[in-house]
Amino acid sequence: MSAETEYRYNRLTWAEMNRAIAMQKVVILPTGSTEQHGLHLPLDVDVFLTESVCLEAGRRAPDRLLVLPPVPYGLNLHHIDFPGTIHIEPETFIAFCLNITKSVAYHGFKKILIVNGHGSNAPLVELAARKTVLATASLCAAVNYISLATEAFNEVKDTPVTAHADEFETSLYLYLAPERVQMDKAGKDDDVMGEYMSSDSTGDHPVRFADFWGRWTKSGVHGDPTAATAEKGRVIFEAAVSGLLGVLDEWRAWPIAERSDQHTRPVQSDIQW
């Protein structure tokens, strides 16, 4: 084991970590959730799929990145009517992620990337990334891994809705761990849709609104998982990993310029935000 070949953050010793810092690897924080995903998928879908993509990127580029242990919980109160779902308040989630990224920045890593796999975490990881930039001398960005695979998935998908426990997530899970998918229990379901909004706040509606899922579904599915296949999952996985490696290389090269203060009078630099 060495900093040159190990891509898992917590497999390094503290002495080896000094070498990883000197190499200025990008540190990746996977974020997901523990929540219901229909009758056919386990509760770990979001965190398992996200971490799998991140770890594979690490295997392919161990000299350029380190993958932190994932954050397995997120904002999920809207799923709480389904047994097993774990909810974390958004302020707590942001603060927790920020404590992680600030710790990484403290040790000397300059580039941090939050890779998210749970839709409701998306605005929260963006805020955590922004707060990291404002609180440290490092740069932090956030990306939803699904967005890196959307174009490739659109070429092979057979259903119109990409949302939750759907063709996308079920296909990827079938590719990575088919023994844990109960396809005989998979079934299609839809949310309530209007002209401007839907009860699951899907991307093709301009108004953001997320209702309690217990108001509109008894299956916990939004989309059609019956069209899922492991081959589609392979396409998704390769696109997500390749896209993440592309993000990695661009992020490593991103400049950190000196700030330019345009004030002509002294400022109150001791103010703590």
SS (H, E, C) the chain: CCCCCCCEHHHCCHHHHHHHHHHCCEEEEEECCCCCECCCECCCHHHHHHHHHHHHHHHHCCCCEEECCCECCECCHHHCCCCCCCECCHHHHHHHHHHHHHHHHHHCCCEEEEEECCHHHHHHHHHHHHHHHHHCCCEEEEEEHHHHHHHHHHHHCCCCCCCECCHHHHHHHHHHCHHHCCHHHCCCECCCECCCCECECCCCCCCCCECCHHHCCCCCCEECHHHCCHHHHHHHHHHHHHHHHHHHHHHHHCCCCCCCCCCCCCCCCCCCC
% of the chain exceeding 70 in pLDDT: 100
- Dihedral angle sign, alpha carbons of residues 38, 41, 44, 48: negative
Going by pLDDT thresholds of 50, 70 and 90, the confidence category of residue 273 is: confident
Q: What pLDDT does 202 receive?
A: 77
Q: What is the pLDDT of residues 130-140, one digit of tens each?
A: 999 999 999 99
Distances (CA, A) of 49 to 69, 193, 270: 13, 28, 43
Q: What pLDDT does 272 receive?
A: 85
Q: What is the pLDDT of residues 207-219, one digit of tens each?
A: 988 999 999 999 9
Q: What pLDDT does 203 receive?
A: 76
Q: Is the pLDDT of residue 180 over 80?
A: yes
For the chain, the structural domain boundaries read 9-253
Q: Is the pLDDT of residue 175 over 90?
A: yes
For the entire predicted model, the pTM comes to 0.97
Fold of the domain built from segment(s) 9-253: Rossmann fold (3.40.50)
Q: What is the pLDDT of residues 114-127, one digit of tens each?
A: 999 999 999 999 99
Answer whether 236's CB lies under 8 Å from 171's CB. Answer: yes
Going by pLDDT thresholds of 50, 70 and 90, the confidence category of residue 101 is: very high
